[in-house]
Amino acid sequence: MITPMRWKSFLQRLLQTPQQYAPWLYLLVCVLAYAPLIPSLGFYWDDWPTIFYTHSGRDAQLFAHFTYDRPYSAWVYYLIGRLGTGALLWHSSALLLRWLGVLAFAWALKAIWPKAPRFVTAAALLFAVYPGYNAQPLPAIFVAHLVTQLAFLLSLGCMAYALREPGRYRRYTALALLTALSQVFMLEYFVGLELVRPLVIWLIVGQSLPIRAAVRKIWLIWWPYLVVLLTWVIWRFWLLELPYEPYPLDVRNHPLQTALDLAQTGLRDLAFTLLGAWREALLSLQATDWLAWAATLGVAGGLVWLLPRTGQPGGQPGTARQAGWLGLLAFAAGMAPIWLTGNELTQNEYSQRYLLIAMFGAALLLAALLSLLRSPRAQTLLLAVLVGVAAGSHIRNAQAFRLDWINQRDFYAQLTWRAPQIKPNTAIVTEDRITPWTGQPLTSYMLNTLYPVRAAAPFVDLWHFESRFTATFNSLMEGETLQAEHRGLIFEAQSPQHVLVIAQVPDGCLWVLEAVDRYNPYLTEEDRALAEISNVGVILTDANAEPVAEIFATDPLHDWCFFFQKAKLANQQGLWNETIKLMQTAATLGFSPKIDIEWLPLAEALAQTGQWDQAREVSLRASSSLGNGMVCALWREWQSLGNGAAATALVDCPAD
């Protein structure tokens, strides 16, 4: 038990030797910035392949998936996957790796500038929460990136300490080379940062030497690391067969124009990193988001109180100038491979993941600029505000992912309520992405995690197609049998009839389309056309899907859409009285649809059981908002049941 006396003793030690407790300060800032919404987050986008392979035990396919372009990165996903597939586990792992990266960053800087602890702390705090890198809520796919970043920082730190402690030179150098080798072969993200080593060596051992002696010294220390880098270059560009050309820039034919374009790209990205990312972070804070503001004010206020106790600003002479040059070199060298691939930070929202590379140099540059302020109080206040705003922006970013996960879970729940099981080799079609962070082909991995897979590797049972792509829409309408392949995962539809079309309508439930939906006024023209080929016969009604709670969490609350989906399923099975009972229960609980057309399952059940007056009443309610074309189409189908013709006239349907 922690007593008040122990807390008092801890605070006294903290204030007397604050630098010893800097790691816990970094942890606290990381927790406040990234952890509050972790229990509400799930999986997104490129997370799903790792989760599918881990859940289904397809370890060989997991490694094959990343052999496509990063063959030595799969072991990170494999090792964490041994602990499970829960979202909380993966998010916690990502948070831990983020904190360890901050520790390694501060540890490396401490070796470069041992007499500037205040500067190191400032740079590390900025590095911990630098805004713009919004991929922290993607817990699975980016753990390899965080591990690679950690390996580079450990390698840089080991190299620096090898120079500071000659008695441990061989031991530190061996560790530095080992971690350098692992980071360049695991992932190419940070390979450009290897070029900062000569400047780091010069800052530690070369400043006091004549030029020739310094160059010789730097070369003798750097050449083993250069061998590692060149080994990677040979492997990557000559030995590794990539399925596409990763460097599309026309350097050979137009070298000058290419150089100018790259320079402009670099200046744009530098401006965005030092100004634009912070502007977006500030603008992202909304007055109603109390959690983001709590993180902003809590972090900023805490740092204003604590930072003056972490030592005097500045430290050893020239720290700010040296850090500025090192930061600028790190930014340019680190981002150069990204620019050479034709990418840049400002290309789109997803491209901002490259800030994970840029933040090493950016944190140094910004900390150096802050050090130029003459007033220590102004330095402290501005640093505290920046770190606080960045922390709040990460909370705000996580809010968007939280909402995306809510929408994902709603989709998964409604789909399994309506389709307890789906026949193997079925194409699942939606017009667009399911959510902003869930789209084809990666949604296919989710579907095969949601439903038990019967097919043997490398095949899967289900595949997601988006009909917004012209080629997909035309193939569907022309009755072609759909096939797909993604990084070794293979899908083949059993026939053109194995298609299930799903529509997501604002304010409405999830709709599994049937032929009659060609009259549905709430659908787009494309979805009405696809309704003709949607086959609800691929839904297996004699088994229940049980989504893995560890992955998908619990079902959302049973609101109107639960009863709507269950009623549609009951109608498909001919359980008309079950539908009537479900709808009565929904009404008793106070549930009703936001769009009246969702009363039609009840109207059909009433018609099928001969309750024509009630069926007419419900049908009129269902057609009250956007006309009765779909209602009339259904009534014409029900005429064969008896008394249907008279009832059709009662709902004002035109004659055929």
262-273 pLDDT tens trace = 889 889 999 999
The pLDDT tens digits for 407-428 are: 999 999 999 999 999 999 999 9
Q: What is the 3-state secondary structure (H, E, C) of 111-152?
A: HHCCCCHHHHHHHHHHHHHCCCCCCCCCCCCCHHHHHHHHHH
Cα Dmax for the chain: 105
- pLDDT value at 248 more than 90: no
The pLDDT tens digits for 626-652 are: 566 788 888 877 777 665 555 555 566
Are the CB atoms for 191 and 257 separated by under 8 Å?
no
Instruction: Give the residue, 10 or 264, on which the prediction is more confident.
Output: 264
Instruction: Tell me what pLDDT residue 539 has.
Output: 93
What is the distance in angstroms between the CA of the first residue and the CA of the last residue of the chain?
81
Are the CB atoms for 134 and 378 separated by under 8 Å?
no
d(CA 21, CA 617): 72
d(CA 565, CA 570): 9
At 181, the pLDDT band (50, 70, 90 cuts) reads: very high
> Quick one: which of 111, 113, 220 has its CA closest to 155?
111
> Quick one: which of 432, 462, 422 has its CA closest to 444?
462
SS3 13: helix
d(CA 188, CA 237): 12
Instruction: Tell me what pLDDT residue 415 has.
Output: 94
d(CA 541, CA 276): 53
d(CA 66, CA 83): 20
Are the CB atoms for 113 and 319 separated by under 8 Å?
yes
SS3 487: coil
Are the CB atoms for 400 and 37 separated by under 8 Å?
no
Amino acid in the structure at residue 153 = L
* Pair of tokens at residue 565: 């989906």
Write down the mean pLDDT value for the chain.
88
Lowest mean pLDDT of 81-85, 94-98, 170-174, 375-379, name the range.
375-379
For 258, 614, 635, 649, the CA distances from 620, given in Å and listed in that order, are 66, 10, 12, 12
Instruction: Tell me what pLDDT residue 285 has.
Output: 83
d(CA 638, CA 644): 6
Other residues' Cβ atoms within 10 Å of the Cβ of residue 280:
16
Instruction: Tell me what pLDDT residue 582 has.
Output: 95
The pLDDT tens digits for 435-458 are: 998 888 999 999 999 998 999 999
d(CA 500, CA 383): 54
* Pair of tokens at residue 160: 């620096």
Question: Can the peptide bond before residue 255 be classed as cis, meaning omega within 30 degrees of 0?
Answer: no
DSSP-assigned beta bridge partners for residue 463: 427
Letter string b/e over residues 409-442, b meaning 16 or more CB atoms within 10 A of that residue's CB: bbbbbbbbbbbbbbbbbbbbbbbebbbebbbbbb
Entry pTM: 0.91
Taking residues 387-391, report their average pLDDT. Answer: 95
* Pair of tokens at residue 185: 């072969």
d(CA 429, CA 504): 11
* Pair of tokens at residue 98: 């983020």
Instruction: Tell me what pLDDT residue 288 has.
Output: 79
CATH of the domain spanning 557-656:
1.25.40
The pLDDT tens digits for 608-621 are: 888 888 888 888 88
At 588, the pLDDT band (50, 70, 90 cuts) reads: very high
Instruction: Tell me what pLDDT residue 343 has.
Output: 87
d(CA 153, CA 197): 11
Instruction: Give the residue, 248 or 347, on which the prediction is more confident.
Output: 347
Residues whose CB falls within 8 Å of the CB of residue 504, separated by 6 or more in sequence, listed in order: 411, 430, 434, 510, 511
Are the CB atoms for 265 and 351 separated by under 8 Å?
no
- pLDDT value at 51 more than 80: yes
At 152, the pLDDT band (50, 70, 90 cuts) reads: very high
d(CA 531, CA 529): 5
Q: Where in the chain is the domain with CATH 1.25.40?
A: 557-656
The pLDDT tens digits for 190-235 are: 999 999 999 999 999 988 788 899 999 999 999 999 999 999 999 8
- pLDDT value at 247 more than 60: no
Question: Can the peptide bond before residue 18 be classed as cis, meaning omega within 30 degrees of 0?
Answer: no
